[in-house]
Chains A and B, each alone.
Chain A
């Protein structure tokens, strides 16, 4: 099975600060998903990275995939309270989906 380790496990930042969340895989990554979950809500798809070196951005969130390092990073620029929640990375090496351990983000106004 594939293991996805996220770091940090939790993060508290002041509004306006930048932050980075990492997702490291125990096996080669052929693609990686990033999701966000807010309390009481379902998972929200953020973006999917399919190729090594690929970088995608959506609003103030940027994600990169480093296949050699078997790692992906999620960077939030100028964080806002609306960014608070749990961020999950996920991978699908075959017909089964694996999720990371999760990172809880708190943004203090």
Chain B
């Protein structure tokens, strides 16, 4: 089925470990996004990529890096995980007709 695929769905990390969240879309969308969702705070934009080859910081970029590997894939990397990065992460892509979201990655940093 067409859509946005995120991996992994769940992850537990120790403080200081690194990991990469993967996101891929097969809808030929130009724009892709990474959000984090925390209770009572709604969704907040971490980074976005308006088109292949470009990335920009969103509202809460500190502690994260991204790579727009190609038009389909947009990865989010935590170089040194901190407990404050415990959250649910959503990847999304968009075109003129709207947004499509992945099913989320639940990350816990202990």
> Which residues does A use to contact B, with CB under 8 Å?
1, 4, 6, 9, 33, 35, 40-43, 45, 48, 88, 90, 92, 95-102
Contacts and interface: CB of A to CB of B under 8 A. Distances in A.
Given A42-B90, A96-B58, A97-B92, A4 B99 contact: no
Nearest to A9: B40
Given A1-B59, A96-B45, A97-B99, A43 B90 contact: yes
Among B42, B43, B59, B101, chain A packs the most CB atoms within 10 A around the CB of B42
A101 B41 contact: yes
Contacts of A1: 59
15 contacts: A40-B106, A41-B104, A42-B104, A43-B90, A45-B98, A45-B100, A48-B98, A92-B99, A95-B48, A97-B33, A97-B45, A99-B42, A99-B44, A101-B40, A102-B43
Contact of A97 (B40, B41, B94, B103): B94
B103 A101 contact: no
Interface of B: 31, 33, 35, 40-45, 48, 50, 58-59, 90, 92, 94, 98-104, 106
Given A42-B103, A90-B43, 4 more contacts: A41-B103, A42-B101, A88-B43, A99-B35
Contacts of B58: 96
A9 B35 CA distance: 20
Contacts of A97: 33, 45, 92, 94, 99
A92 B35 CA distance: 14
A64 to B, nearest CB: 19
